[in-house]
Amino acid sequence: MSDTLWAPWRMDYILGPKKPDCFFCLPPDHLGPDPERLVLYSDALSLVIMNLYPYNNAHLMVAPRRHVASLALATEEERVSLINLAAKTTLILDQVLAPQGYNLGINQGLVAGAGLADHLHFHIAPRWSGDTNFMTVLAETRVIPEHIRATYDQLVGRF
């Protein structure tokens, strides 16, 4: 067995231009999906975006449109929008991909994840029995069974 795991798609990230802005922040007049940014849905208060570096297939994030650092600083309307959109997202994933469970979490602060100091976001990671296999356990490597664009195409119309 080889000790080499090839991931040529990573070179696009390594050599590609780095965006200085927050990847959750959309132009103010932009509503709806955005395939280029992997945004599945956006309205005046919240958005759903695919995680470009997922833990597993269809790992999504829900974030407020406004650049806000924490739940405490979000308005009540933003908090309600976030939780309602997270619930809607799990229902859509149930219909399209039939996961057997979910990991839902909130990232708040730079060290909480995604390297974002001041844009709160929820993670929604669908789970299936057996989705953690020897690659994750022994090699600390994730195997995503479907290309991110194929998953995007399946989900975007549902929002």
- Which residues are known catalytic residues? 121
Return the structure tokens found at 71. 């739940």
For residue 69, what is the DSSP state?
A: S
Nearest in space to 41 (alpha carbons), one of 22, 60, 56, 58: 60
Strand order across the 101-107 sheet: 39-42, 46-50, 60-64, 121-127, 101-107
CA distances in angstroms from 124 to 3, 30, 73, 94, listed in the order given:
32, 23, 21, 12
If one counts every other C-beta atom within 10 angstroms of the C-beta of residue 30, the result is 13
For residue 126, what is the DSSP state?
A: E
d(CA 39, CA 62): 10
